[in-house]
Amino acid sequence: MKLVPLRKAVQALGLSKNTLRKYADQGSINVIRTPSGQRLFDLDSFTGQLTKQTAVAYARVSSKGQKPDLECQVEYLSEYASEVVRDVGSGLNYKRKGLRALLERAVCGERLKIVVASRDRIARFGWELVDFIVQKPGGEIVVLDQRVGSAEEELTQDLLHILHVFSCRMYGRRKYKSNQVEEDPVLSYYSAEELVQALVRRIEKDLQQDGRTLSYSRDDSGLESD
């Protein structure tokens, strides 16, 4: 047993004071108090836990309206881990509270075994970076749904998601502006939202016709050649 005060524990473990206090309150590191009230941290108790993997399930939906889906994910994932982290937010938002908490634990050296229903629950883009951070201390991400589509399908799904997010944000911005000033009816007729939605409908139509690949020629796009 190696007991040290907070300052030396911070230096030895590379953690912030607040993180170390939180781990002490959670019981992740053993602490004893001296007669004067000073807390001494048992470094061996914490470093010993770092050699074990901690199973954590991660569930995410994009909006509050999808909370029933979130609960279905939680129920499904609970079979694989007792601790479940929930997030409500876009897969393009890397400031999600639950995701950042897991990454902080990995950066601090905790070996996490993160269980997710599918890869896009973690992130729409940047999966490899998140996976690298989790693997660095000896953790892993377990994906239960391992179905992988073609490169064209994956690219199309990513594009559709980006367009959907863009459309939602533009709609929210236009709705806000409409409460401030009256819009030009000519400009609103050719709004960015409508153009994006038209493009999405065109992509979906092409996918239905082709089945697997996106056939969208230059002539079909309506753009003039140089």
- So which residues are the catalytic ones? 62
Of 96, 105, 102, whose CA–CA distance to 60 is shortest? 96
Instruction: Please give the Cα distance from 192 to 85 (Å, whole number).
Output: 36
Asked whether 177 and 150 are in contact (CB, 8 A), the reply is no
Instruction: Please give the Cα distance from 147 to 119 (Å, whole number).
Output: 10
Which residues 6+ apart lie within 8 Å of 120 measured at CB? 91
Instruction: Please give the Cα distance from 53 to 139 (Å, whole number).
Output: 7
Of 155, 187, 154, 146, whose CA–CA distance to 170 is shortest? 187
Instruction: Please give the Cα distance from 155 to 152 (Å, whole number).
Output: 5
